[in-house]
Amino acid sequence: MIQTSALRKDFTVWRKLGRLRRERRVVTAVDGVDLTVAEGELLGYIGPNGAGKSTTLKMMTGVLTPSAGEVSVCGLTPVPQRTRLARRIGVVFGQRSQLWWDLPLTESFSLLRHVYRVPPADHAARLRRCRSLLDLDAFLDTPVRQLSLGQRMRAELTAALLHGPRVLFLDEPTIGLDVLSKQAVRGFLGELHATGDTTIVLTTHDLADIEKLCRRLVVIDHGRVVHDGTVEQLHAAYRSKRRVVADLDTAWPDGLTLPGASVERVEADGLRVTLSLDGATAGEVVAQLAQVVPLRDLSVLEPEIEDVVARLYTGR
Ligand SMILES: Nc1ncnc2c1ncn2[C@@H]1O[C@H](COP(=O)(O)OP(=O)(O)OP(=O)(O)O)[C@@H](O)[C@H]1O
């Protein structure tokens, strides 16, 4: 559905050096990205600030012309075939709105039906689905400028989907949203993905979005892909470890070690120990622990995606 090959974007920026002199500098925002996204896939596209995510999305949606390389979306080349592409893609860019600011939301939705020449029955069915899944009814008659951020994001998602696009591009759709709105947006995207009709590319800084929604994750840094695989593969590559945290009735004996695990931290006057698993299973470690110290409570912590992504971003 989406294919890029050696995709590159350079920006020329000018820096003022005094009153008359300027220095020309080339910023390579995207530096040879090869990506294939299959039909129905939900791809997480992440990276630190300035990594080149938005620039990639802009080239995929026909907003920016690549400096080199190729990009194809739904079999079309985005910039020269932008009008045809617009009917096949939906776009939600957190900062930019596709709604009419002063009009009630319903009127924006009707206008979009005319813009995209959507058959009334299709439009009505899609709107009905979004109204129920995104809980829009309470603010359908409110002018867009009066909507809260969470309401507007739900409205933007609806607006992006009313013409039945085959690909949905989302740039930070949960930025600034409260917990409930985030859940609503994630739940909706999960449902949309489950139908298998829409290919979704999601950029976000909220790694919970990624964990909850994406099987495949592409990480970009300085314009280059530094990871392309599942979240589990990322954990494996960075040897992220599960941990066992045990609360004890008597203090952890100094220097005690267990095979297949290493002591990461001892705290609370020796009454809490955190062990990371280096080969042993959680069950094996707990069984060994129970033989050497009286246990009060236990929990097994999964590796944090935040940790591994932070290590990836810092190049460790
Ligand atoms: N129009 C532009 N002119 C000059 N430089 C630009 C332009 N747009 C982006 N850049 C530069 O290209 C690089 C990548 O920017 P981009 O917006 O794609 O990053 P991003 O990964 O989306 O970042 P963020 O997470 O902060 O939104 C940055 O160094 C940015 O300053």
- Mean pLDDT value across residues 154-168: 95
| Same-domain check for residues 60 and 148 | yes
* Rounded-to-5 percentages of helix, strand, coil across the chain: 35, 30, 35
Complete DSSP assignment for 156-171: HHHHHHTT--SEEEEE
| Same-domain check for residues 196 and 291 | no
Beta carbon of 8 within 6 Å of any ligand 1 atom: no
Q: What is the share, in percent, of the chain residues with pLDDT greater than 90?
A: 70
| Same-domain check for residues 181 and 276 | no
Beta carbon of 112 within 6 Å of any ligand 1 atom: no
| Same-domain check for residues 144 and 217 | yes
- Mean pLDDT value across residues 236-246: 84
| Same-domain check for residues 134 and 282 | no
Beta carbon of 204 within 6 Å of any ligand 1 atom: no
Q: Which has more confidence, 17 or 111?
A: 111
Beta carbon of 223 within 6 Å of any ligand 1 atom: no
CA of 45 to the centre of ligand 1 (A): 15
The tens digit of pLDDT for each residue in 116-144 reads: 999 999 999 999 999 999 999 999 999 99
Q: Which atom of ligand 1 is nearest to the CA of 13?
A: 4
Query: What are the beta bridge partners of residue 217?
Result: 44, 229
The answer to whether 54 and 62 have CB atoms below 8 angstroms apart is no
The pLDDT-based confidence of 252 (bands split at 50, 70, 90) is very high
The answer to whether 7 and 45 have CB atoms below 8 angstroms apart is no
CA of 53 to the centre of ligand 1 (A): 8
Residue owning the nearest CA to atom 10 of ligand 1: 29
Please say if the pLDDT value at position 202 is more than 90. yes
| Same-domain check for residues 7 and 108 | yes
- Pocket-testing residue among 55, 65, 169, ligand 1, by greatest number of atoms within 8 A of Cβ: 55
Residue owning the nearest CA to atom 25 of ligand 1: 49
Question: Containing domain of residue 274, as a range?
Answer: 241-313
The pLDDT-based confidence of 211 (bands split at 50, 70, 90) is confident
Query: What are the beta bridge partners of residue 91?
Result: 169
Total number of domains in the chain: 2
Residue owning the nearest CA to atom 18 of ligand 1: 52
Q: Which of 220, 236, 252 is the last residue of a domain?
A: 236
CA of 285 to the centre of ligand 1 (A): 47
Residue 297: CB atoms within 10 Å? 10
Q: What is the share, in percent, of the chain residues with pLDDT greater than 70?
A: 99
- What pLDDT, on a 0 to 100 scale, did the predictor assign at position 142? 95
Beta carbon of 13 within 6 Å of any ligand 1 atom: yes
| Same-domain check for residues 136 and 157 | yes
Rounded to the nearest integer, the mean pLDDT of the chain is 91
Q: Whole-model pTM above 0.95? A: no
- Pocket-testing residue among 10, 11, 30, 175, ligand 1, by greatest number of atoms within 8 A of Cβ: 11
| Same-domain check for residues 147 and 185 | yes
As given in the structure block, the two tokens for residue 207 are 């790694």
The answer to whether 37 and 11 have CB atoms below 8 angstroms apart is no
Q: Which has more confidence, 213 or 308?
A: 213
| Same-domain check for residues 299 and 228 | no
Please say if the pLDDT value at position 209 is more than 70. yes
Residue owning the nearest CA to atom 30 of ligand 1: 50
The tens digit of pLDDT for each residue in 29-66 reads: 999 999 999 999 999 999 999 999 999 999 999 999 99
Which H or E run contains 92?
strand 89-93
The answer to whether 14 and 22 have CB atoms below 8 angstroms apart is yes
CA of 182 to the centre of ligand 1 (A): 25
CA of 278 to the centre of ligand 1 (A): 40
Q: Which of 236, 264, 284 is the last residue of a domain?
A: 236
| Same-domain check for residues 229 and 107 | yes
Please say if the pLDDT value at position 162 is more than 80. yes
Please report, for the domain that includes residue 231, its CATH number. Answer: 3.40.50.300
Beta carbon of 95 within 6 Å of any ligand 1 atom: no
Q: Which has more confidence, 265 or 19?
A: 265
| Same-domain check for residues 128 and 212 | yes
The answer to whether 294 and 251 have CB atoms below 8 angstroms apart is no
As given in the structure block, the two tokens for residue 109 are 């939705």
- What pLDDT, on a 0 to 100 scale, did the predictor assign at position 316? 57
| Same-domain check for residues 19 and 157 | yes
Q: Which of 236, 266, 294 is the last residue of a domain?
A: 236
- What pLDDT, on a 0 to 100 scale, did the predictor assign at position 94? 67
Q: How far apart are CA 217 and CA 227, in angstroms?
A: 7
The tens digit of pLDDT for each residue in 268-310 reads: 999 999 999 988 899 999 999 999 999 999 999 887 777 788 8
- What pLDDT, on a 0 to 100 scale, did the predictor assign at position 140? 95
